[in-house]
């Protein structure tokens, strides 16, 4: 079954839809995405290691979950849906920010995304979907920055691009979660 993403203009307004793989091919087309960063009471964020079968960036460490809303789906709804589908739990979330980026993700694919980022709060262990995730861990944002500096190729390109922005925004929002 084809999966479609929401194509957007430079103001993140929907201008159409496209099949997901096509939207990432040939230099990519700007589309809407979601990223979730779940934090625990210690202020650590939950990372996932992407399944080795993923069509891009397999085996790389990334934020708690990320995906795309489908046409007609709200970003917050997609965030809850994908968190449950990938990590096997759901939690309260707050919209944090929008992060626009472009990244080469290998295999001649490019991310060109208006990424709606949500922060959540959760204590516990996920129930991983093995088709999506092979491992997980909690990590402080400062340790994450250090690990990215030491071994950037172990992490997804979007996580490398947004870690500083996420750290600043989390410092502003931590008490709200």
Q: Which of 65, 66, 111, 132 is catalytic?
A: 66
Catalytic residue from among 86, 111, 113, 132? 113
Residue with tokens 């739990």: 89
Separation CA 174–CA 154 (nearest Å): 27
- Backbone dihedral angles phi then psi of residue 145, each to the nearest 5 degrees: -60, -45
Q: Is 147 a catalytic residue?
A: no
Annotation marks residue 91 as catalytic: no
d(CA 134, CA 126): 12
* 115/97 Cα distance (integer angstroms): 8
**Cβ-proximal residues to 26 (8 Å cutoff; 6+ apart), any chain:** none
Angle at 86 between CA 60 and CA 115, to 5 degrees: 70
Active site (catalytic) residues: 66, 113
């Amino acid at each position: 079954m084809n999966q479609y993403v929401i194509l957007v203009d430079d103001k993140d307004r929907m201008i159409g839809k496209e099949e997901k793989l096509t939207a990432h091919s040939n230099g990519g087309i700007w589309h809407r995405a979601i990223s979730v960063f779940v934090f625990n009471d210690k202020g650590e964020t939950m990372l996932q290691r992407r399944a080795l079968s993923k069509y891009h960036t397999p085996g790389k460490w990334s934020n708690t979950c990320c995906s795309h809303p489908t046409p007609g789906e709200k970003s917050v709804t997609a965030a809850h849906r994908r968190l449950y589908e990938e990590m096997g739990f759901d939690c309260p979330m707050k919209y944090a920010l929008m992060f626009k980026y472009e990244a080469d993700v290998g295999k001649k694919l490019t991310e060109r995304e208006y990424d709606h980022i949500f922060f959540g709060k959760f204590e516990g262990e996920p129930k991983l979907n093995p088709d999506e995730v092979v491992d997980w861990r909690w990590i402080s944002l400062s340790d994450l920055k250090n690990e990215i500096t030491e071994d950037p190729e172990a992490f997804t390109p979007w996580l490398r691009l947004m870690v500083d922005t996420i750290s600043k925004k989390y410092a502003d929002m931590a008490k709200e979660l």
